[in-house]
Structures are given as structure tokens and as C-alpha cells.
Amino acid sequence: MQDPSHPAVHARDAALEAAPFGMFTCNARGTFEHVNAAFEKLTGMTANELVGRRSFESLHDPAELARRRGELPILAKIGARYESEWTYLRRSGTPVRVVLALSPLSGEGVCHPGDARYVGVVVDMTRYAQSDARLWYVSHHDGVTRLPNQTLFTERLELTIARCERHTSGFTVLIAELDHLRKLRDALGLHAAELVLQIVGERLRGLFPNDGTIASIGGTQFALLINETGSAADAFAAEALSRIAEPIDYGGTALNIAASIGIVAYPDDGGDAPTLMRRAGVALSAAAAVNGNAVRRFSTALEGQAARRFQIETMLREALERQQLHLVYQPQVTLATGRIAQVEALLRWNHPERGMISPAEFVPVAEESGLIEQIGEWVIRTACRDAGKLLRMTGNLPRVAVNVSPQQFQRHDLFETIRGALDSAALAPSYLEVEITEGVLLGDTDQTLETLHALRGLGVEIAVDDFGTGYSSLAYLTRFPLNRLKIDQSFVTRMAGDPQCHALVGAIVAMAHALGLRVTAEGVETPEQAAQLQALGCDEAQGFWFSRPVTASALGNLLSPSGA
């Protein structure tokens, strides 16, 4: 037997003591000769109580040992290793599930089997069970809201479907998305956005006094599964919107949150989890298009529209690669003289198989998909290039107006894009006008002001398109460097038969002139409309009565001395 004072024995005992799991050595009878601190902690017994006094078998649950006595080997018959799960009883009498491994100690110089010694390793399985539970929790819950995530929600949804199939009952799935949370995060920081998600999550959780499932999915979305259907589900959705809309105090600032909700019903809207979630997303997209605090139920018509939007987006990407888009130009005529004051560049798409696709159909898809920025830059560069060619060809060029989307205004390089397009076309800035919507002026005000002032300083003019259809706040008319208002064609159409509309157009013209702004009316299609507008003092008009949109070459004919 090896001398206990031998350095190798000291090294072995030191390693045994440092092990993070329970370890012991015992003699051929199973009596403990050494136990480490982890083994003492596991059993609740001290080394003095174990070493030389008890055997490793004495720690086993007696009832289990009696049942499984034949599975526990005789130490002398252990070859290389024995391992199995057993139940130990701690000093307190509480059971603990362990894995017990036994091996003979090699290199001991054993001459007689009774002198053999063995090493045991005992691993507390409850520790690993707890670790597995923690891993399961992390993988099935959202880190910000602590709510179930999409994985767990889908599992519960599938279980609910199976239950309802057996009992022929139904339920409703709702997906709620917080609107403009990214803007809030950009303005106030990540902490504010996470606080909003946590508070909204708690508010929605409060809608489930007993049973129900709520999950945080997709960063800004919450999924809810309720047993109610029909009008009861609609009432639940309305209550959810109301809870979300309650102001949130953030350091003395009241944050007003809006949301959109899409609803699907089982079994009417689908029989499996993927279909229900996809169709709830379709309904959510329709609700989000209303611009906040809206609820939409799924319908096959919405699904058809979603499929069409996806098809349009796919074709639009191809159109950009294959250069299928082109510009046409519609003159804006001075009512007093009949001369062309400006021309508006209008985007057109002539698909090789489907023919002309309306901008009313593809521009919203471009905005939703993010393609509008690429398309908008192409429009600016193409319009400037066409204008430069027309000026050199005819020596006569009215101002060219291009529409700039709110998404383009969010880019910090818009000014450089416009200046680069003008330089590339060798076109003076005074020949270009940028048309924006009222929504641009009510977005990121500081950046918008900076960009507009930079463009005006360059010599580019600014017009507000579709005036009267949005917020129509008089405050921005004095704050922003504008040159012109364009009255939406809906007012022009109703003006003849609606005295109030006629008066409103007259008021817009008078107000604009008082602020030093010119006014252009859109959608003029009859001589009566043109005469009414001229009588009200409107400066310019645009519409089919004067000219349909024409190609750049046809515009060149209009602008040449012989065609003027």
C-alpha cells in the first residue's frame, strides 16, 4: 500500500479536495477513508461523521436500496468503472437524486484484494435540473418583459388547438404592435423603449385575471391568446388598446403610446399555428396602415391584398434592376397667362407583361418595403438629368418639381443627394423644386428645418403637396421656408357643387398670398374649374384640362420656340 506521506498521495488528495462535485475514497468494505468538502455539503455530514465510521452504502435511501440491491456491485468485482443514478438521504432526511460513479484506485501496489481502495464521485442531479430549468426559462421567455416568447407562445397555441379539436370549441389570437417605438428609442434612448415594453406587458398581463396566454414577440409586438370569440374578442381588443394608450410617465414626461391590433379566430381563420400567426400578421398590417389605435380582423380580402403587395414588391425590385421605371412630366400652368410655370416629374412603371401599374398601387408598397429611398434618389437624378438636357436643347426651361417622401427626409444625406444630382446634370438649383407632404413637416422637426433651410440656401424651392388633406397646421407655414402650396384635387372636384369647399379654397389662396406663398391647384379637368380658381386668385393649375403628363421628349416639343 502506498505511503500516505508520499507526494503522489498528497497531490491526489489535493485534487480530490478541489473538485466541484462530491468525491470520496473508501476501502474494500466501502468504508469512507476520505471525503471532500463538496461531499460534506451534499450529504450534510462532516468528515468526522463519515470517515472510518460509515460506508457509502449507508447513505442510500434504504427503500430504494432494498429494491435495487442487485444493481449495486460488489466493490471487488468492479472493473474499470461503475455508474448509475441513486437516491441519497441527507443528514436532514431529505432525499437527493445523484449519479454515483465508482472506480478502483490504480497504482496503489495492492497485494491482497482486501487492501484495495476505491474512489467515488457523487454528482447532485438537482443542480443540473435547476440549470436545465434556467436554460429552458431563458430560451422560452423575452429578456426585457419576462413574458413568454414566440417559441413558448407557439407551443401553447398548438396545445390549445389540440384541445379545441377534441372539444370542438374556438378561441382568438391577437397580435398587438406598438407604433413608432423606434422613434421613441431614438429620441429618449433604449431604457425608455424597454420601460414602455415592460409597462405595456404588465398592463396586458392584467387583462388575464385567471387563464390566458400573453407573449412578447418580435421586439415591439405582443401576442395574446384568449378563449373568447366574436364580439367578446372585439371588446377584449378595444380594452387592450385602451390600456396601452394610458400615458406612461418617464421622468416627468408623459409618453403617449399608440398600437395596432390584428385578430384571427380559430377555426374560422385557420386550423394550425403557422397559418393563424401568419394571418394575424396580415390583419395587423392592415391595422397599422390606419396609423395607430386600430383593430382589424383577418379576412380573405386582406390576405389577397397582402399577396398582391408581396407580388408588387418582388416585381418592383426586378423593375429597379431592369430599369423599367420612367418619368413623365405634367405642366403646371399660370392661370393669368396660360404659360407653363413648372412641370411636375411623375413616376411611371410599364411592366413588360402586366402593362402600366398605377403609382397609387406601387408607391405605398415601395414605402413599406424601404425601396422608396432608392427609387426617390433615382427620380431626383433622372429629373435633373432630363431637365439639363431640355435646357440645353430648348434654351427654355420651367422649374421641375420632384416629390420627396418622408423616408427620404429621414436620411441625413438628402441635401448632398440633391446637390450631387444638380452638379452631375450641370443644372442650376433655381430650376428645381422639391414637393413634400405635410407629414414631413411634422416629423423630425429639427432635421427637417435644417434640410429645408439648406435647400433654400442652395436655391431650390419648396412646395407643400396635397395641402388640406393632412394636419393643415398654420404654424408650420410660418416656421418653414416654403414657396408654394398645392391644393389637393379633392377640393377642386367638390368646389363647384359645395359652397363651403369653394369658400375654403378661397381662404387657402388668401392665406397663402398673405404669407407670400404661391398657390397651385391640382386635378383641374374642366374650363369651369379653371375659371373659378382664377376668380379666386389661384396662381397656377395642373390637370388634364391643360395637359396630360408627357414624356421628356414631348415636353421638349412644348418648350421649343415653335411649340411654346
CATH at 94 = 3.30.450.20
pLDDT at residue number 564: 46
Please check whether residues 518 and 385 belong to one and the same domain.
yes
Checking if the pLDDT of 111 tops 70, the result is: no
pLDDT value at position 449?
A: 84
Residue 397 DSSP code: -
Residue 127 has pLDDT above 80, yes or no: no
Residue 502 lies in a domain: yes
Query: Which of 15-29, 138-152, 403-417, 460-474 is the least confident region?
Result: 460-474
Q: What is the pLDDT of residue 483?
A: 93
Residue at 136 is within a domain? no
Helices and strands (DSSP H and E) totals, the chain:
22, 21
Residues 146 and 119 in one domain: no
In angstroms, the CA 549 to CA 528 distance is 21
Mean pLDDT score, 502-516: 92
Q: Are residues 554 and 496 in the same domain?
A: yes
- Do residue 114 and residue 189 come from a single domain? no
My answer on whether 404 and 537 are in the same domain is: yes
pLDDT at 415 over 80: yes
Judgement on whether residues 294 and 353 belong to the same structural domain of the protein: no
Determine, yes or no, domain membership for 343. yes
Q: In the chain, what are the helix, strand and coil shares in percent, each to the nearest 5? A: 50, 25, 30
Look at residue 525 and tell me if it is in a domain. yes
Classify residue 534: in a domain, yes or no. yes
pLDDT for 256 beyond 60? yes
Cis bond before residue 527 (omega within 30° of 0):
no
Residue 149 domain-assigned (yes or no): yes
Question: In the chain, what percentage of residues exceed pLDDT 70?
Answer: 92
**pLDDT higher than 70, residue 151:** yes
Report how far residue 302's alpha carbon sits from residue 319's, in angstroms, rounded to the nearest whole number.
25
Query: 17 and 114 in one domain?
Result: yes
pTM: 0.61
92 and 207 belong to one structural domain:
no
250 and 371 part of one domain: no
Mean pLDDT of 527-538: 93
Spatial distance between the Cα atoms of 142 and 552, rounded to a whole number of angstroms: 55
Residue-level pLDDT at 108: 52
392 and 255 part of one domain: no
Q: Residue 385 and residue 382: Cα distance in Å, rounded? A: 5
Average pLDDT of the segment spanning 377-392: 94
- Among 298, 332, 353, residue at a domain's last position: 298
- pLDDT at position 13, please? 65
* Domain closes at, from 131, 160, 189: 131
Least confident of 10-19, 61-70, 297-306, 483-492: 10-19
What is the pLDDT of the chain when averaged over all its residues? 87
**What's the pLDDT at 11?**
58
Of 110, 131, 152, the position where a domain reaches its end is 131
Shared domain for 15 and 82, answered yes or no, is: yes
Residue-wise DSSP of 437-452: -HHHHTSSHHHHHHHH
Residue range 20-59, pLDDT digits in tens: 889 999 999 999 999 999 999 999 999 999 999 999 999 9
Residue 238 resides in a domain: yes
d(CA 195, CA 201): 10
Q: Is 110 exposed, middle or buried (0-12, 13-18, 19+ CB in 10 A)?
A: middle
Give CA–CA dist 557/517, Å, rounded: 30
Number of domains in the chain: 3
State the CATH number of the domain containing residue 284: 3.30.70.270
383-387, 405-409, 459-463: segment of lowest average pLDDT: 405-409
Q: Do 437 and 415 belong to one domain?
A: yes
pLDDT digits (tens, 9 = 90+) for 337-379: 999 999 999 999 988 888 888 888 888 888 888 888 889 999 9
SS3 string, 313-347, reads: HHHHHHHHHHCCEEEEEEEEEECCCCCEEEEEEEE
Q: State the distance between the two ends of the chain, measured CA to CA, in whole angstroms.
A: 118
Q: What angle do CA 267, 270, 274 make, to 5 degrees?
A: 130
Per residue in 274-328, pLDDT (tens digit) is 999 999 999 998 898 877 789 999 988 888 888 888 888 889 998 888 888 999 9
For residue 395, what are the domain limits? 320-559
Asked if the structure places residue 315 within a domain, the reply is no
pLDDT above 90 as % of the chain: 50
What CATH number does residue 531 fall under? Answer: 3.20.20.450
